[in-house]
């Protein structure tokens, strides 16, 4: 008679080990242990709650941006009226006014000019956020050189030297990418070091699935604690109180880059200033880079 043998152990078997008796833990089931279903249900409910919260915040942000753009658009006409009548007053009565009154008019001109720039920045952010992207093949060097021509007066006034490396051809919205370069170059000029001639470098490098563009300068740089905050709307570095701007340019850059599927960041440049880099997904693999060039 063949003796029946059992291979393996049941969960209720007692195991002798080290002189002590141990009862093995039951193997986990596919549905999880006791209470796991409730825990999973709570997690799923939390995920659903967070998704609904994110959707609501995105909707609120869109509505807030639309409201700000509408207000900015409506304020253009009365602002133009204030500036226009102030200019007429200065022409007709300027010679009759005393020095203090003329200083008052100068303050009005300055304030209306700053407000006009702010309104245009709000409208520009609105266009960058919700405007339709029209992607095409964009030659990097041709685009950057066109931006430099628009900034030629500011570059000459600052005595800046700009070196442009060999930039690739990318598939993106030409106008929007031009805004990114213009804002980054203007930002480099605005944050020039008082003791150094501004030197700016524009270059690019290939990443596994993206092209990374970079605008580097030898200016005052960005403090580590400000490197995330400055990409938010109306946020500026803590040492920017005396510098021009409204804290919109870098926020517009981030919006444009993220709409193209990329990321933007800032770090310390080798020259001691700031290196702003952003990525554009490579939808044009295999094509040659654009012509390199330099301008000073």
pLDDT in single tens digits along all 296 residues of the chain? 445 444 455 545 555 555 555 555 555 554 555 556 788 888 888 888 888 888 887 776 667 666 666 776 677 788 888 888 888 888 888 888 888 888 888 888 888 887 887 777 777 767 777 778 889 999 999 999 999 999 999 999 999 999 999 999 999 999 999 999 999 999 999 999 999 999 999 999 999 999 999 999 999 999 999 988 898 876 766 555 555 556 688 988 999 999 999 999 999 999 889 999 999 999 755 444 444 444 44
pLDDT computed for residue 162 by the predictor? 96
- Residues contacting 27, CB < 8 A, separation 6+: 11
Which among 106, 130, 154 is the end of a domain?
A: 130
pLDDT computed for residue 151 by the predictor? 94
Q: Which helix (H) or strand (E) holds 275?
A: strand 274-281
User: What's this model's pTM, rounded to 2 decimal places?
Assistant: 0.64
Same domain, 122 and 151: no
User: How many domains are contained in the chain?
Assistant: 2
Same domain, 212 and 83: no
Asked if residues 266 and 230 have their Cβ atoms less than 8 Å apart, the reply is: yes
Query: Is residue 240 one of the residues assigned to a domain?
Result: yes
Instruction: Give CA angle at 175 (61, 80), nearest 5°.
Output: 70
Same domain, 286 and 144: yes
Phi, psi at 161, each rounded to 5°: -115, 125
The domain of 262 spans 135-295
Query: Is residue 6 one of the residues assigned to a domain?
Result: no
User: What is the CATH classification number for the domain harbouring 125?
Assistant: 1.10.287
Same domain, 88 and 159: no
Query: Is residue 146 one of the residues assigned to a domain?
Result: yes
pLDDT computed for residue 281 by the predictor? 94
User: What is the CATH classification number for the domain harbouring 286?
Assistant: 3.30.565.10
Asked if residues 176 and 254 have their Cβ atoms less than 8 Å apart, the reply is: no
Which among 70, 100, 130 is the end of a domain?
A: 130
Which among 63, 97, 130 is the end of a domain?
A: 130
Retrieve residue 180's tokens. Answer: 């990114």
Query: Is residue 47 one of the residues assigned to a domain?
Result: yes
pLDDT computed for residue 267 by the predictor? 95
Same domain, 143 and 240: yes
């Amino acid at each position: 008679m063949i003796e029946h043998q059992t291979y393996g152990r049941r969960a209720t078997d007692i195991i002798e080990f080290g002189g002590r008796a141990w009862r093995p833990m039951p193997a986990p089931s596919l549905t999880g242990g006791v209470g796991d279903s409730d825990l999973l249900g709570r997690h799923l409910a939390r995920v659903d709650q967070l998704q609904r919260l994110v959707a609501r915040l995105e909707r609120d942000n869109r509505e807030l941006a639309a409201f700000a753009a509408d207000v900015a658009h409506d304020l253009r006409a009365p602002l133009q009226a204030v500036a226009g009548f102030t200019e007429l007053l200065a022409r007709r009565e300027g010679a009759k006014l005393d020095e203090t009154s003329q200083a008052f008019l100068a303050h009005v001109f300055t304030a209306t000019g700053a407000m006009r720039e702010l309104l245009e920045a709000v409208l520009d952010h609105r266009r960058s956020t919700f405007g339709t992207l029209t992607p095409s093949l964009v030659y990097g060097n041709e685009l950057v050189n066109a931006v430099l021509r628009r900034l030629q007066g500011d570059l000459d006034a600052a005595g800046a030297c700009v070196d442009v490396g060999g930039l690739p051809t990318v598939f993106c919205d030409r106008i929007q990418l031009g805004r990114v370069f213009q804002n980054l170059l203007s930002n480099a000029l605005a944050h020039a070091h008082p003791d150094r001639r501004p030197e700016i470098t524009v270059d690019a490098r290939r990443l596994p699935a993206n092209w990374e563009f970079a605008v580097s300068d030898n200016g005052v740089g960005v403090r580590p604690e400000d490197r995330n905050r400055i990409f938010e709307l109306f946020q500026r570095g803590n040492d920017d109180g005396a510098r021009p701007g409204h804290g919109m340019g870098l926020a517009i850059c981030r919006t444009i880059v993220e709409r193209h599927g990329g990321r933007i960041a800032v770090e310390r440049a080798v020259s001691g200033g700031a290196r702003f880099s952003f990525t554009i997904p490579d939808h044009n693999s295999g094509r040659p880079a654009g012509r390199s060039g330099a301008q000073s």
